[in-house]
A and B are shown apart, each in its own frame.
Chain A
Amino acid sequence: MKKAFYSSLFIHGLIFVLISVTLPEIKTKEINYISVEIVNEEVKEVKEVKEVKEVKEVKKNTAIKTAPPKQKPIIIPKKDKAIKKINIKPKPPIKKPKIIKPEEKIVKKIDKPKTINDDAFFDDMLKNLAKNQPKPIKPVKEIKNKINNKSKKTQAEIRKSQKSIANNIYKQIKANYTLPPAPDLKVINDITVQLRIYVRPDGTIIKTIIDKSSLKKAQNDPTYLPYVEAAQRAIKKLGKFEKLPQEEYNLWKIVDIRFTPYET
């Protein structure tokens, strides 16, 4: 009886050790707020160019260090080539229609507005496009890939990626964020609205949750409510983030946004 007790104790102890060994990896990472301020439009433009370069550099680095993502590349580049060929060298109509590739056909029909109005053709084209579309990415697999990739990245690289992503998200939200009517009257400086958004791997915003404190304030203060609605409107207007690095989905899966309408 004692043996059974000790063996049970030993095994539970072992489990405890194993769990505690794995736990530190689950610990939350310290992510600082990344404040992005635009001083003036010209500087903003310059910054944008630099950021694009930075993103490119990061992408190059990741391509070297990490395995390429499993997701199939979208077929659009092929179409671009076809478009370029046709636009640069306007060839005379081809006599043998059988030889023409299907891609070229599509391009030609797009060039002619009359054919676009043909509903049947358009439906067919949609179906074809649907067939060619890459399969939806399974989040779990992708997360695994990203974690594997991430483990190979240094902390500095992660921070750099975060900053780049934050900049990208900041610009997209800011472009859609309009202050509620009647600004400038608010002499109160503590008008901040906090939202949490959940994002799909393709960038679609699937859920927006208002922070509890913001929600409570909005319920009690009719002058604050328009600010919450303006923040929500910005997110709904945006709908989907563009050009976020899919291989770093973990970094932007959940985004906490703090709107501060008036800078102090």
Chain B
Amino acid sequence: MYNFKRQFIKLIFIAYVFFSCFFMSYYKVVFAQEEPLRIDIMGGKIQAMPIAISYFTIEDDLKELKLHNNIPNLIADNLVNSGLFKLLNRDAYMQNPEQLISSPKFRDWRIIDAQALITGNISKRADNKINVSIKLWDVYGEKRLFGISLSSKIKSWRRISHIISDKIYERLTGEEGYFDTRIVYVSESGSQKNRKKRLAIMDQDGANHQYLTDGNSLVLTPRFSPNQQQITFFSYRGINRGLKPSVYLYNLKTGKMKILGEFPGMSFAPRFSPNGSNLVMSLSQNGSTNIHIMNLKDKQTKQLTKGIAIDTSPSFSPDGKNIVFNSDRSGGQHLYIMKENGKNPKRISFGRGSYATPVWSPRGDYIAFTKFTRGRFFIGLMHPDGSAERLIAEGYLTEGPTWAPGGRVLSFFRQTPQKDGSMRTRLFVIDITGNRERELITPEDASDPSWSPKNIN
């Protein structure tokens, strides 16, 4: 009996050992974590993102206004004009707006290779306002990326469309949108000898155009303030009353304008600081032109540059710590950067030709400028340390770059001689890659554009 017990225990132990070994080898084969294959994907295709923007559903009362077509069309125009998106032909859509009310059939949208889908609905509220709700869908991820609902008066449908465009753009690119913005510029009309220059303002797509001044006096270099309510510009406005040409402030809400301080010499080339509390400009007196900064609250001014050189076109960095300007102190006209208090001026441009009108990008990574070399004008970009200079646009007279919010797109004006000897001056928009240049349609000749910050109202 005792031997039998011992034999039994032995058997159990042997079985235990056997199964342990078996389990280990089985584990090794089946459950052991496989070492993954590792792959690096360097770079990728750069192409416009194919998107589908369906017409919106709408209440019967509003159908006459055609907002269910106009709003998606305007959103599509904004996104396509950015050059980053490609609108897929609506004839190819396999679902109509009514079928998209709940959730799209993603498979149907993948067939036409839509990467993002925008659907929407317009309804009328009790206070006669419209309510626009849109949804952005990730077709391959089969999920909703975001939804937004906006209410406004019917006449503000364009503004709603621009805000929606910004939201979509920001969600898909990760960058700040610029569609809900405006551009102020100098509208020019009349012969070259009797030129009429007026301040004009319009949406970034050219809509809602209006004149701000009557054209009785010459205006130049308008610039938006960061809070959008004010525009500063240079004008000969008071010259008939014995006033020198000066820098003025125009209030967009009230329509009133005022001269900005009494200076011994001529003031010009004004630009706001990023926080809107200061204004930098050039003051010309006794044969020299220097950069001054003015506190807009107490009107105190401080001279930032000294010497007999011509220092002009100051522009703040987005953090407000540095100022870029152009100066002929080294002989040729070049770009310099100095601290906000005027210290440590440092030359950053060293190429052939003359550099002018530098403007710091809202992102801080580029400085746009005008360059004159070999008898032609160019719009160029360089990093704030002067590196990676490249020219993105050219023309007979190409000048006055201004950045859109987000720092991806800029506007400038170009003057082109015509066959009859006249000049045609127009505004253009281009992105920092130098591609996708397009003309901004204006009623008359246009120059000196200034892009507003994003609408905050």
Contacts and interface: CB of A to CB of B under 8 A. Distances in A.
Given A22-B25, A187-B365, A236-B141, A261 B44 contact: yes
A34 interface: yes
A18 interface: yes
Contacts of B21: 15, 18, 22
B84 A182 contact: yes
A229 B48 CA distance: 15
Nearest to B361: A185
B140 interface: yes
A262 B44 CA distance: 8
25 contacts: A22-B24, A26-B32, A31-B37, A31-B38, A34-B40, A140-B30, A143-B30, A162-B37, A177-B45, A179-B44, A181-B172, A182-B173, A185-B175, A185-B363, A222-B170, A222-B171, A226-B172, A226-B174, A233-B141, A257-B38, A257-B40, A260-B40, A260-B42, A262-B43, A263-B42
B140 A233 contact: yes
A19 B24 contact: yes
Contacts of B141: 229, 232-233, 236
Interface string A12-33: 0011001100100110110111
Contacts of B49: 178, 180-181
Q: For this complex, into which size category does the number of interface residues on chain B fall?
A: 35 or more
B330 to A, nearest CB: 28
A257 B39 contact: yes
Interface in A123-175: 140, 143-144, 147, 162, 165-166, 169-170, 173-174
Interface string A47-89: 0000000000000000000000000000000000000000000
B29 A255 contact: no
A147 B20 contact: no
A177 B34 contact: no
Contacts of B20: 15, 18-19
B40 A29 contact: no
B16 interface: yes
B36 A180 contact: no
B217 interface: no
A182 B363 CA distance: 14
Interface in B45-83: 45-49, 82
Interface of B: 13, 16-17, 20-21, 24-25, 28-30, 32, 34-49, 82, 84-85, 115, 138, 140-141, 170-175, 363, 365, 407-408, 432-433
A35 B84 CA distance: 29
A41 to B, nearest CB: 13
A259 B41 contact: yes
A106 B220 CA distance: 79
A237 B140 contact: yes
Contact of B29 (A19, A140, A221, A252): A140
Contacts of B82: 181
Contacts of A250: 34
B456 to A, nearest CB: 19
A225 interface: yes
Contacts of A29: 35
Contacts of A33: 38-40
Contacts of A181: 48-49, 82, 84-85, 172-173
A222 B365 CA distance: 19
A162 B334 CA distance: 56
